[in-house]
Copies of this chain bind each other. A is one copy, B any other.
Amino acid sequence: MTRIGFVGLGNMGGPMARNLVAAGHEVRVFDLVAAAMEGVGGAAPQASAAACVDGVDVFISMLPAGRHVESLYLGDDGIVAQADASTLLIDCSTIDPDTARRVAQAAADRGIAMLDAPVSGGTAGAEAGTLTFMVGGDTAAVERARPVLDVMAKNVFHAGGAGAGQTAKICNNMLLAVHMAGTAEALALGVNNGLDPAVLSEIMKQSSGGNWSLNVYNPFPGVMDGVPASRGYQGGFLVDLMTKDLGLAMASAEASGSAVPLGSLARNLFRLHGQVNDAGRLDFSSIQRFYKPDLD
């Protein structure tokens, strides 16, 4: 049994915390929304984030953006200032690597180990405990974190030093955006030339066109069961969230002087799709509709 503090109980953080409770850990929780705390049965609601870090073995946060992470961890009454040197800090938010490194450095300056550990797998993965964690930080800290993360994870990857978890997720999601939009584009081109989308999908899957979007998340309605494309693009990974992640990729490209022409175009295609089709709250595979506006 590990004593764990958990801050940020939204669509992702809530089920993650519940899985920690279910695994028998002693979990203290805090969220600005009181109802969110009640949603984690068996956990001990706290009056503040600071109360969650007091005397725990592991402190975990799951927040929307870099500014929230900065605000939670830094400053005179931030988590870094309040935590014991023995507490392991794990931020699971998806944020820019620079902020992740800055916060980790502040922790290191006080002798506290910290990891950036963004996830993929969505709310379904959070609930099922099958998330993928991409972790940045020292090897020793990653090993300390592993038993706790394993409760929530299918995979735990150690990407490198501080910030590397964020970078790995940014790179992965940029590539995902490119091949999802590319798959939608190739399917539309084939269908516009008279091909059956299911036949073309099958051919490309077994050929060099194969990729995750095509193979397990086909964006064309009616080709694959159980994916958002077959339920009106409801649920899944929202266009707005993919657009946010692509924004992090753009910032990371700028900071490192990298050329990202395809990632940039994907960013703009998802942005345009979101605004022209009012599609921000649809699954990101709905980009298919941008290419085939006549789809039902």
Contact = CB atoms under 8 A, between A and B. Distances in A.
A47 to B, nearest CB: 32
A268 B275 contact: no
Contact of A160 (B196, B257, B276, B291): B196
A193 B262 contact: no
| A interface, size bucket | 35 or more
Contacts of A39: none
A110 B39 CA distance: 46
B207 A120 contact: yes
A155 to B, nearest CB: 6
Interface string A186-199: 11111011111001
How many copies of this protein are present in the complex?
Answer: 4
Contacts of A195: 159-160, 164, 167-168, 171
A254 B254 CA distance: 12
A72 interface: no
A171 to B, nearest CB: 4
Given A167-B189, A276-B293, 16 more contacts: A155-B206, A158-B199, A163-B194, A164-B194, A168-B200, A171-B186, A171-B187, A172-B204, A175-B204, A178-B262, A179-B179, A185-B260, A193-B252, A193-B255, A258-B291, A262-B262
Interface in A192-221: 192-196, 199-200, 202-204, 206-214, 217
